Chain A
Amino acid sequence: MTSIATSRPLEAPLSDEDVRQFLFLEARLQDEHEYDAWEALWDDEALYWVPAGSDDADPATQVSYVYDNRARIASRIRQLNTGRRHSQAPASRMRRVISNIEIERKANSVIRTCSNFMLVEARRGQMTLWAGRTIMELSAASGATKIRMKKVLLVNNDQPLSNMAFLI
C-alpha cells in the first residue's frame, strides 16, 4: 500500500531509530488491516492489553477492554480474516500518529517504549478520535524483533467507548 518497504532487518542490536521505525511499522500494519503481518510481529509469549476503568487496573481482578494472550491474539486475527466480522465489514479507515517516543533498554535485550498516539477512525460517515499512551516491550533475544507486551492506555478508558473491533 502506501508504504516504504521495510527491507532493513530488525535484528539486534537495534538503534533508537530502528526502534522508532518498528513502532511506525506496527502502527501502519494496524491502520492498513495487514492482519497476518501484524500478528507476525508478536512473540510466542505475548500480552495485548487495553485496560478499562483506569490505567492501573489489576488484570487479575478487573475487567479490561482487551486482555489477549498469544492464543487470543491469533483468534482475534482469525476472526478478522474471515471478512465476516460485521463490526469491521466494512473495515474502518484509519491513520494514527505516534509521537513522544521514549526508549528504555532493559536486561536480556528487552526494549521498553512509551509513546503517545492519536488515531482518526473513519467509518459509516463518522470520524472518531482515539488517543492514548502505548507501552510496549520488544524482545530481540531470538534474533528478530518481536512484541511481547503492548499496553494501550486510552485517555477515555473510564468512559463509554464505541466499537473498537479494529487493532488499537
Chain B
Amino acid sequence: MLNVAANTVARTNFNALIEADRIHGSLYTNPAIFAQEMDTLYSKGWVYVAHESEVPKPGDFCTRLIGQQSVIVSRDKDGSVHILYNRCPHRGSVVCQLETGNRPNFSCPYHGWAFNLRGDLIGVPYQNGYDESFDMSRSGMAKVPRIASRGGFIFASLEAQGKSLDQHLGNATELIDMLVGLSPEGKLDLRAGWMKHRMKANWKMVIENQVDGYHAPMVHSSLLRANKTFATVRDRRDSSPTRVRDLGLGHLDIYHTTDYRDKGTLFRWTGGIEESRMSRYVDAMKQAYGEKEARLRLIDGPPHAVLFPNISLAEMNIMVIQPISVDETIQYTTPVILVGGEELNERTLRRCEGALGPAGFLIADDAEISELTYRGLLDRQPEWLILKRGIGQEEVSADGIRTAGLMDETTQRGFWHHYRDVMSSSH
C-alpha cells in the first residue's frame, strides 16, 4: 500500500504546547494542528459515527463524516452494519448524496457502477468493454476497517489495527450504560432528526464547553433570570454537591448524581416533572430492573458527558461535534428517545429544542462564546490559556477517576492531557 499522508505537515511538539495547568492558544487556531488532528485522532482512533437505531432495517443507510471523510453507514441484509467511504472506486464521484434512506444497493451517478450494501461491486454498465484484467471482486467501495458498538452507539476507526473499542472507552462504558439503562428495554431510538448548528469556532472549544461547570452563571445568566425551573432544578453554586470528573482517556463528565441523590427525588433531570405523571414509565422501569434499582436510575438520570473525541451524551440529548475546518464546527443535536419511555419522550423532544440548537435558550449563547473565543485567540498575546481552577483539590480514585468541584477545570485538563498523549504518540 502506498503510504501517502492525507495532509503533509510538520509534526508539532505537543508536549511544548500542553502543560499541567496551561495550554497554548495556537492549539485552537493553527491549521497545521487541525490537519494533524484529522490524521491522528480522526484517522487512527475510534470516532462515534451513528446509532444502530438510525439504520434499523436491511437497506437502511445514513451518510456521515468521520473527521473529513464522507462515509455511508449501511445495514446489510444479514443485519450487519458496514461503513463505506462514499466514493466511487471507478472515477471518484460521490456515490450517495442522501442523508438517510433505504436502498437495496447503491449506484454511482456518473457511470452507473452498482454496489451492494457492503460495498461490493455488483454491476457495471456495458461490461463487455472490460477484459479479464478487470477484477470486479477487487473493485468495490472501500470499507472502513473497524466498526464496534456499545449500547447501539456505533464507533469506527479508519485504521485497521489498534486498541479495541472497550479499551478506547475505558471507564466511559458506564456512561453509555447509564443512558441506555433509562430505557426499560435497554434501547434508545435516535430518529427524531438532527438540529444542525454551524459555528465559527474550533471543535475543541465546543466539546470542552459541554463539560465546563464554571461558565453557566455567566453565559446563561439570561436564562437563569428568565426561567425559574432552569434556575432552581439543580444546584449550580460553586458549593454544589455536583462534581466534575476526568474518567481517563479523554472521557469527561459533569456528575450530577451526587446532587440528585442528596435530594432523593425522581426525575429532577427532566426539569422536575412529578413522578405521578410518569407512572407507566416508572412501572416499566421497576418491572425491568426491580424496585430499588429502578428508583436509583430515575434519581440519577442520564449522564452529562463527553466521550473523546466527538460525542457528548448531553443528558437527554446526543450532540455530535463535527470538525469542518480549524475555524468551523457543526454541532448535531438530537433528543434521546427511550424505547419504553413514551410518557417522557415528547417532553424530551420539547426540552431538546427549547434548550439546544441555533435558537435554543442555552446553546445559542454557548455558540456565541465559542465564536468569541475563536476570535479572541487570533490575537496572539498572551500566548497561554490558564486551566488552574481546582488543581490542588482533586480526588483520584483507585480506578483513576479524577474528581473535583462543579466549577473546577479538571475536565479541561483531562481533555488536554489525553489529547497530548494521543497527538504525541506515533501509533
- Report A's interface with B, CB cutoff 8 A: 50, 52-53, 57, 60-68, 72, 75-76, 78-87, 124, 158-165, 168
Contacts and interface: CB of A to CB of B under 8 A. Distances in A.
B124 to A, nearest CB: 32
Contact of B221 (A63, A84, A162, A164): A84
Nearest to A50: B359
Contacts of A164: 358-359, 364
Contact of A163 (B227, B330, B364): B364
Interface in B323-357: 330, 333-335, 346, 349-350, 352-354, 357
B333 to A, nearest CB: 8
Contacts, number: 109
A23 to B, nearest CB: 21
Contact of B195 (A63, A85, A162, A168): A63
Contact of B368 (A60, A67, A78, A87): A87
The 8 closest A-B pairs by CB, nearest first: A78-B226, A160-B196, A160-B198, A79-B226, A87-B364, A84-B222, A165-B364, A87-B368
B223 A79 contact: yes
A72 B367 CA distance: 21
A81 B197 CA distance: 24
Interface residues of B, number: 38
Contact of A87 (B192, B346, B350, B365): B365
15 contacts: A52-B194, A52-B195, A61-B349, A63-B333, A63-B335, A63-B352, A79-B225, A79-B361, A85-B222, A86-B368, A86-B369, A87-B365, A160-B330, A163-B197, A165-B359
A85 B371 CA distance: 15
B222 A82 contact: yes
B223 A63 contact: no
Contact of A63 (B192, B225, B364): B192
Contacts of B223: 79
A85 B365 contact: yes
B197 A160 contact: yes
Interface in B213-252: 219, 221-223, 225-227
Nearest to A79: B226
Contacts of A81: 226
A72 B350 CA distance: 10
- Of A83, A160, A164, chain B has the most CB atoms within 10 Å of the CB of A160
Interface string B195-216: 1111110000000000000000
B367 A53 contact: no
A168 to B, nearest CB: 8
B193 interface: yes
B367 A57 contact: no
Nearest to B367: A163
A53 B100 CA distance: 11
B300 to A, nearest CB: 25
A161 to B, nearest CB: 4
Contact of B357 (A52, A80, A85): A52
A83 to B, nearest CB: 8
B357 A65 contact: yes
Nearest to B199: A162
B226 A82 contact: yes
A83 B225 CA distance: 11
Contacts of A163: 197, 199, 358-359, 364, 367-368
Given A53-B194, A57-B193, 11 more contacts: A52-B195, A60-B346, A67-B353, A75-B361, A78-B227, A79-B227, A79-B361, A82-B226, A161-B358, A162-B367, A165-B364
Contacts of A82: 221-222, 225-226
B352 A87 contact: no
Nearest to B346: A60
A134 to B, nearest CB: 15
Contacts of B197: 160-163
Contacts of A87: 364-365, 367-368
Given A75-B226, A87-B364, A165-B364, A61 B192 contact: yes
Contacts of B358: 65, 161-165
A64 B369 CA distance: 23
A159 to B, nearest CB: 7
Contacts of A161: 196-198, 358
Given A85-B365, A164-B359, A164-B364, A65 B227 contact: no
A63 B368 contact: no
B307 to A, nearest CB: 21
A133 B195 CA distance: 19
B363 to A, nearest CB: 9
Contacts of B222: 79-80, 82-86
A51 to B, nearest CB: 9
Contacts of B334: 63
B192 A86 contact: no
A57 to B, nearest CB: 6
Contacts of B193: 52-53, 57, 62-63
A84 B225 CA distance: 9
